[in-house]
Chains A and B, each alone.
Chain A
Amino acid sequence: MSARRVFSTDHKVVGLQYFFLALAAVTIGIVLSLLMRFHLVWPAAHLPFVRGGIMTPEQYLALVTMHGTIMIFFVLTTAPQGAFGNYFLPLQIGAPDMAFPRLNMLSFWLTLAAFLCMLAAFTVPGGAPISGWTAYPPLSGLGEVTGPGEGTGQTIWIIGILIFCVASLLGAINFIATTIDMRAPGMTLMRMPLTVWAWFVTAILSLLAFSVLLAGGILLLLDRSAGTSFFLPAGLVVNGELQGHNGGSPLLWQHLFWFFGHPEVYIAILPGMGVVAHVLANFSRKPVFGYRVMALALCAIGFLGFLVWGHHMFVSGMNPYSGLTFSLLTISIGVPSAIKTFNWLGTLWGGKIQFRTPMLFAIGFVSFFITGGLSGIFLAQPALDTMLHATYYVVGHFHIVMGVAAIFGIFAATYYWFPKMFGRSMDETLGKLHFWLTFIGVYCIFMPMHFLGVAGGIRRYADSTGAKYLAALQPLHEFMTIAAFITAAAQLIFFWNFFRSLKKGAPASANPWNATTLEWITTSPPAPDSFGGQFPRVYRGPYEYSVPGETADFLPQNLAPKGAAHGSGAAGVAATVGIPQRVYLTGAIMLLAGVLMFFMALVSAEIVRKGFSSDWQPLDLPWRILALSTAILLASSFTLAHSRNRLLANDDAGFRHWWGVTAILGLFFLAGLGISWRQLAVAGVGIATNPSSSFFYVFTAAHGIHVLAGIAVLVAVAFRAPRHLTRTTVAGVVSTYWHAINGLWVLLFVFLLLAK
């Protein structure tokens, strides 16, 4: 493996890298869960990988935390989107690559870094954190006093999450720009495969959700390390020690976290929904039933997904009236979910169903989604949530609807696209065996969790000794543990089949499933440039199966209609395409949307924090220097506009001159911020002094970094014209960014004034 292949910008290589990362992560995640399941039933047993042999409660909780984190972030977020999205989105829309290949590569390497960082938490003194994947402060916010793993382990965990956020944001920008700007001629929105729709909507969710988690994570890190009190109230006494925090709100974290957390569960499942519709149509030999409604329902789920986060907080101490609102909104999201189910059934109905392995997994997905969606209807009602919250019922719900359903989506995708990715086929018999065992096994593990939960079995308990009634439920635990071990063993069949087929599988043709979409018109595996230099033109919708009057029972998307003058016959070849210039502007706008979301999260945090506390003090800011800096920044917008005009007028010297002036004004602005920090520091106001100073430092630092990045780009462009962009494009993109960041500052400045 040469370095060029490892550090590749080819979306197919990056996709495979994500895939193998997810495969490694899921292996670790499964081992962690088996350790937990074993401990729950045989608490005194000696276990491998466990320090000291016999598991302590804190080790159990570290496993809970790391299992959840690894599965949700590094498996369910990376495999469906990072792996399959990267590999197949460009192929399915007939694009040569992602819009920003190098950014794509960076996303992957950052994700890998985040993963290694996360794993490092196991190795530090105190071990991995014990606060769950939800990391509620104060447990997660005070350091070692609250428990083992809450020192360095928790810090590393937060840093890992922050890196992951950045990686996901960059990935999301790439996916959105690619979908918007890189579609082949004829590939209208309503001709995109539902997989593409799903990846597209997922990318939008990632962009808006991860920027909020990024903001929340930074605040939590500051609470831990800089002594601020965003989430930590006054008068905390932990382990007999009085803590020096003031006025923070633990619920603020929960709001920020779940504002991310609920969309995140859809980030995990939407790509699976796309794959399932795609595979169901393929192996029913029928068009997707209600294609438009399916695309619309994806959008509706994505949109509603941002309005329901409070259903995780019914019993958190949140206002009970908002509980009812969140309940109604949550129930409403059941409607597009039900629509999807109906349409999957409609796709099967009247079909000619071929039970190939991917199809079996897709059908399994539908069954799990039905089960998990319906248990959601219980949890969505606050009155019922008061008995079911934080019990195994919730664990059953989300494992079935998110964990297992998404994993079945991943399996369906793996079996389906394996021939395309590796040019060989997986073994059907082993694949089917893997399906049957997993389908039965998974229901045996997770159905009983619902029964356990209704009876009052509580999640995140290291053993059942706390209350007498828990011991009576132990037989359920035993059953589930045995089922878990059998199901895990069945995954060995998959691994065997997968790795053996890589080398020994029967060679696959270009289109082994007789499918319609564009990834199947190229060779298996595709050439490095995907379509061998001949880019497709699209003439029809994605699921033209069994069209009456046609002899073939499938019509590829690039098949020209009979008698069309266009194209050279069946292939419908279009001229080679490069990366269009407009992607850079789209990318910049998406980046700005993420940045805006990030700042909106901070602003809402300030509003909540201020409303919640009694320790809010108006801050005497160095207004004069701030006003001056603001004026300088505004002036830089004019100089940049002027510079761009000079460029359009072909006045290169003028362009360079004003371009440089802009960068210098930017530096002056940063200097102004620096001076204002210094004046505050001299007056004895630090970041932890009071909540308004904390927010002031966070706002200015966060904004300053964006200005600094803008200056860096200005300087870089001045010295070296980028390879793929024209000067005009660069000037346009940089101006958009610069003006938006300046506008953002003005808004922040007004906000600071108002908060005074």
Chain B
Amino acid sequence: MIRSRKQARGSAAPAFLLALLLTLLVLATVYVFAAHLFPPPPPITSIALLVDRQYDLTLYVAGVAFILAQLGLAYAVFRFRDRGQRAHFTHGNVAMEVVWTTITLVVFLGLAIAGRKAWAEDRYTAAEPGAIQIEVTTTQFVYTFRYPGADNKFGRLDPSLVSAPTGNPLGLDPNDPAGRDDIVVPTLTVPVDHPVELLLRSQDVVHNFFVRELRLQQDSVPGMMVPVHFTANRIGQYDIVCTQLCGLGHNTMHSFLNVVSESGYESFLKRQAAGQ
């Protein structure tokens, strides 16, 4: 009896401390997310906006669950600390199991289904007709962008002709007339408010194309051509980074997405065509 009273007294401090820490955890986490201390940059496509909305919705739902569960845990450890009482004997409660299983199932599946829209708009549809096609080639550790030029046709590529030092990083076949006017550049320039389709390919290992403002990541896989599309609605310069471990220079693999005005785009093309 003496022992158990001593133990009971010893329970108050850890119970209180644990409850306090869990409460602090909740407060700190809610604060950082609610105050937007480390926000992603503003989205620049309508799909990115959808992604943000879905993110916010998920944040609310998960946030409420997080607060309830962690505070519930805090409450339970504090409230039911050993004070010399006898524990309540129960093997469970089927009705409660059914209730919370159903609620979780409905809420979680509801979220996933709500999130379907942003994904579908992004990935189920092909690019709009009239979208500008640009080929993106990844190599350790650079991006190379190719525009089809005036003929709107990409020239043939031949891996055996690849030679970055002699200025043919993609292995363009000089005998293919379609390739003569192809524009090959190290940064990506697109016109604002105009649909763009990127065709992702890779020469060596798996890389990735990530622009935060597009809320878009896509691996570029050797042997595959993966299309993605977007319509940027704000002029500016944005970082392109690689998120797929690709070798020792992975962290330096970087380029820019330049979203320019319609006329700026025209002059970009002209300048490049003149330089070919």
Would you call B192 an interface residue if the criterion is a C-beta within 8 Å of the partner chain's C-beta atoms?
no
Residues of A within 8 A of B235 (CB): none
Q: A61-B250, A351-B87, A466-B251 are known contacts. Are A237 and B204 too (CB-CB below 8 A)?
A: yes
Q: How far apart are the CA atoms of A452 and B37 in the complex, in Å? A: 10
Decide: B101 and A339 in contact? CB cutoff 8 A: yes
Chain A residues near B245: list those with CB within 8 A: 61, 64, 130-132, 134, 136, 139, 460
State the CA gap A287–B87 with chains docked (Å): 9
> Among A2-10, A377-385, A658-666, A693-701, which stretch is in contact with chain B?
A377-385
Whether a CB of chain B sits under 8 angstroms from the CB of A748 is no
Within the assembled complex, what's the spacing in Å between the Cα atoms of A377 and B37?
22
> Are B140 and A317 in contact, CB atoms less than 8 angstroms apart?
no
Q: Give 1 or 0 for each of A448-469: 1 = CB within 8 Å of chain B CB.
A: 0001101110111111111111
At the interface, yes or no: B272 with Cβ under 8 Å from chain A? no
Q: Decide: A242 near B160, CB < 8 A? Known: A138-B222, A467-B254.
A: yes
The interface bits of chain B over 236-276 (1 if a CB of A lies within 8 angstroms of the residue's CB, else 0) are 00010101111111111110000000000000000000000
Expressed in whole angstroms, the minimum distance between the Cβ of B15 and any Cβ of chain A is: 6
- Known contacts: A351-B80, A353-B11. The answer to whether A316 contacts B221 by CB under 8 A is yes
Q: How far is the CB of A557 from chain B (nearest CB, A)?
A: 15
B69 and A370 contact, CB distance less than 8 A: yes
Which of A237, A284, A467 sits near B241, CB closer than 8 Å? A467
Contacts of A343 in B (CB 8 A): 92, 97
Which residues on A sit within 8 Å (CB–CB) of B221?
A: 250-251, 316-317
Query: Does chain A have a CB within 8 A of B173?
Result: no
A380-395 at interface with B (beta carbon < 8 Å)? 380-387, 389-391
Tell me if B223 counts as interface (CB < 8 A to partner A).
yes
In the A-B complex, list the 6 residue pairs whose CB atoms are closest, starting with the nearest. Answer: A233-B223, A350-B88, A290-B92, A320-B123, A383-B118, A390-B243
Q: Which residues of A contact B (CB under 8 A)?
A: 56-58, 61, 64, 130-132, 134, 136-139, 146-148, 233-240, 242, 247-251, 284-293, 315-317, 320-321, 323-324, 327-328, 331-332, 334-335, 338-339, 341-343, 345-346, 348-355, 360, 363, 366-367, 370-371, 374-375, 377-378, 380-387, 389-391, 432, 436, 439-440, 443, 447, 451-452, 454-456, 458-469, 473, 476, 545-548, 553
| Bound form: Cα–Cα A232–B159 in Å | 15
Specify the chain A residue showing the minimal Cβ separation from B74.
A367
Known contacts A381-B119, A391-B243: does B250 contact A461 (CB below 8 Å)? yes
Taking a contact as CB atoms closer than 8 A, the residue among B65, B203, B208, B223 that contacts A249 in the complex is: B223
Q: How far is the CA of A239 from the CA of B162 in the complex (A)?
A: 10
B182 contacts the other chain (CB 8 A): no
Known contacts A139-B206, A339-B97, A360-B14; 5 further A-B pairs (Cβ under 8 A): A240-B163, A353-B11, A386-B216, A390-B208, A466-B251
Partner pick for A387 among B11, B40, B86, B123, CB 8 A cutoff: B40
Distance (whole angstroms) from the CB of A335 to the closest CB of chain B: 5
Contacts A/B (CB < 8 Å), 21 sampled: A130-B248, A136-B244, A137-B205, A235-B222, A240-B163, A250-B223, A285-B87, A286-B88, A317-B218, A317-B220, A317-B224, A339-B97, A346-B93, A346-B96, A352-B87, A360-B18, A377-B58, A390-B217, A455-B38, A456-B40, A456-B212
**Residues from 23 to 71 in B contacting A, C-beta threshold 8 Å:** 25, 28-29, 32, 37-41, 50-51, 54-55, 58, 61-62, 65-66, 69-70
The answer to whether A147 touches B243 (Cβ under 8 A) is no
Residues of B within 8 A of A (CB): 7, 10-11, 14-15, 17-18, 21-22, 25, 28-29, 32, 37-41, 50-51, 54-55, 58, 61-62, 65-66, 69-70, 72-73, 76-77, 80-83, 85-93, 96-97, 100-101, 104-105, 108-109, 111-112, 115-120, 122-124, 139-140, 159-160, 162-165, 171, 200, 203-206, 208, 210, 212, 215-224, 226, 239, 241, 243-254
**Closest chain A CB from B62 CB (angstroms):** 4
On whether the beta carbons of B251 and A342 are closer than 8 Å, the reply is: no
- With both beta carbons as reference points, the residue of chain A lying nearest to B222 in the complex is identified as A233
B39 touching A352 by the CB < 8 A rule? Answer: no
Partner of B250, one of A248, A345, A460: A460
A366 and B74 alpha carbons, distance in the complex (Å): 11
Name the B residues within 8 Å of A375 (CB-CB): 62
In the complex, what residues of B have CB within 8 A of residue A381's CB? Answer: 54, 58, 111-112, 115, 119
Beyond A240-B164, A335-B104, A384-B115, whether A147 also contacts B219 by CB under 8 A is: no
Chain B residues contacting A452 (CB-CB under 8 Å) are 38
Q: Is B91 within 8 A of A291, CB to CB?
A: yes
Chain A residue with the shortest CB-CB distance to B84: A352
Could you tell me if A237 and B162 are in contact, using CB atoms closer than 8 angstroms?
yes
- B77: chain A residues at CB < 8 Å are 348, 353, 355, 363
Q: In the complex, are the beta carbons of A239 and B140 less than 8 A apart? A: yes
Beta-carbon nearest neighbor of B72 in chain A: A345
Query: Which residues of chain B are near A248, meaning CB under 8 Å?
Result: 223
